[in-house]
Structure 1
Amino acid sequence: MSSGNAVDQVEQGQLFLDLVLRNRFNRTILDRFGDLGIDDWWLTAGCLAQSIWNISANRPAEDRIDDYDLFYFDPDIRWNAEDKVIARVADLFSDLPIRIEIRNQARVPIWYRKKFDIEYGDVSAACDGIDRFAYRTTAIGLRKLHDEYRIYAPFGLEAVLEGTIIPNPVLPIRDVYAAKVMRWRKKWPCLKVMPWPDNPE
């Protein structure tokens, strides 16, 4: 299970949290999701970073966010088990005018090779999916447990707060990185994009 760190144990953690919670949908998801009884989960990726970038661009925090990603881990990799969780989440947040994408990270290796023609590797916690994002900048998870917020940020928070997109070549998915940053730059032209390395270590 990925436990993350308390906000005050993460450099710039309080600033990050304050900005992310200015998006009312982030706040609502974090407040409610614990009701489902899933232990290992994170709100992650674009909805966190893009809330910050919107604020930096003097726009509403919720502006131009396509979806809200929730990662969880359940060793039950049956399709219908995940589908039941998707249905419960849809019901729990049916009053929100947003699209929520929730995926069991234990199932990712099943479909990843077919989609990208590379092996994803073993998954033992929800944070494993965050570790393998194509970009370190948005490899961040946030959750609320017993009224305490926790942050999972293996590459820190400096890049997301500064609007600098840094690649994470742990998987050879240069094209995924390029396509995503191209879409982001159209919405947030002030983002600074670092190139994918020619010879990843």
Structure 2
Amino acid sequence: MTDLDRLRDALSRNETLVELLRRARGFGLPGWYLTAGCVAQTVWNVLTGREATYGIQDYDLFYHDSADLSREAEDRVIRSVAAACEDLPADVEVRNEARVHLWYEAKFGTPCPPFASTEAAIDAFPAVCSCVGVRLARDGSWHFHAPHGLDDLFAMVVRPNPVLAPREVYERNAARWSAGWPELTVLTSR
């Protein structure tokens, strides 16, 4: 079984994640992925024998639309997705990754260059193990983006990503994840 097969198998055990994938492919969002914590945490839950949805605070649905960078355009998408997912037992966090550079420095104290794609944004997540995105194609096939591979994810290793995130963001995520999944091996921040 390949790592991608293992990933698909693990994610398939989270019914909320799978249903959100099904719905998301109909939203018409350019370059969308379900990504970050909900993907990594589902895998950790499967690896440790926990309920597949254990500890997942939200489901990150990211897309990239550079045609309209206004907050209002993103808010329309957020409201539309919220209405389409109100029956799901999950908070869906929707973000237009084309806008991140507009607010990132004010929030995190570090400038962020504009992302050319959702993939570029995923590449910059704070921990290597969470740099994974998944989406369903129209034909139902699974598409993955994992720029650092899946070794850390399946080994339950939390390693800082040197690409962008400030040390404090990595450390905050690592501490929260360690509290929920004490089996994790957390490597020291850069």
Structure 2 equivalent of residue 180 of structure 1: 173
Indicate how the Cα distance of structure 1 residues 60 and 173 shifts in structure 2: closer, same or farther if over 3 A, else same: same
Q: Is the 8 A contact 1:23 1:62 kept in 2?
A: yes
Among candidates 79, 85, 102, match of residue 87 of structure 1: 79
Paired positions, count: 188
Query: What's the CA shift string for 1:136-158, capped at 9, x where partnerless?
Result: 11100000011111000000011
Among candidates 145, 164, 184, match of residue 171 of structure 1: 164
Q: Is the 8 A contact 2:33 2:133 kept in 1?
A: yes
Give the AA of the match of 1:121: P
TM-score (norm 2): 0.95
Deviation of residue 39 (structure 1)?
2.8
| Structure 2 Cα separation of the partners of residues 36 and 58 of structure 1 | 32
Given the alignment of the two structures, is residue 26 of structure 1 paired with residue 17 of structure 2, yes or no? Answer: yes
| Structure 1 Cα separation of the partners of residues 48 and 87 of structure 2 | 28
Among candidates 35, 38, 52, match of residue 26 of structure 2: 35
Query: What's the CA shift string for 1:94-117, capped at 9, x where partnerless?
Result: 111210000000111010111122
Among candidates 48, 58, 61, match of residue 57 of structure 1: 48
Q: Is the 8 A contact 1:137 1:160 kept in 2?
A: yes
Q: Is the 8 A contact 2:25 2:136 kept in 1?
A: yes
Given the alignment of the two structures, is residue 68 of structure 1 paired with residue 63 of structure 2, yes or no? Answer: no
Q: Which has the higher contact order (CA 8 A, sep 6+)?
A: 1
Among candidates 103, 107, 118, match of residue 110 of structure 2: 118
Give the AA of the match of 2:87: D
Structure 1, unaligned stretches of length 5 or more? 1-7
TM-score (norm 1): 0.90
Among candidates 19, 36, 44, match of residue 35 of structure 2: 44
Q: Percent identity?
A: 37
Query: What's the CA shift string for 1:149-200, capped at 9, x where partnerless?
Result: 1000000011111111111021251111111111111110010111122xxx
Q: Is the 8 A contact 1:169 1:196 kept in 2?
A: no
**Consecutive aligned runs of 4 or more in structure 1 exceeding 2 Å deviation:** none
Structure 2 equivalent of residue 109 of structure 1: 101
Give the AA of the match of 1:188: W
Deviation of residue 59 (structure 1)?
1.2
Give the AA of the match of 1:173: P
Q: Is the 8 A contact 2:45 2:51 kept in 1?
A: yes
| Structure 1 Cα separation of the partners of residues 134 and 178 of structure 2 | 24
Given the alignment of the two structures, is residue 155 of structure 1 paired with residue 158 of structure 2, yes or no? Answer: no
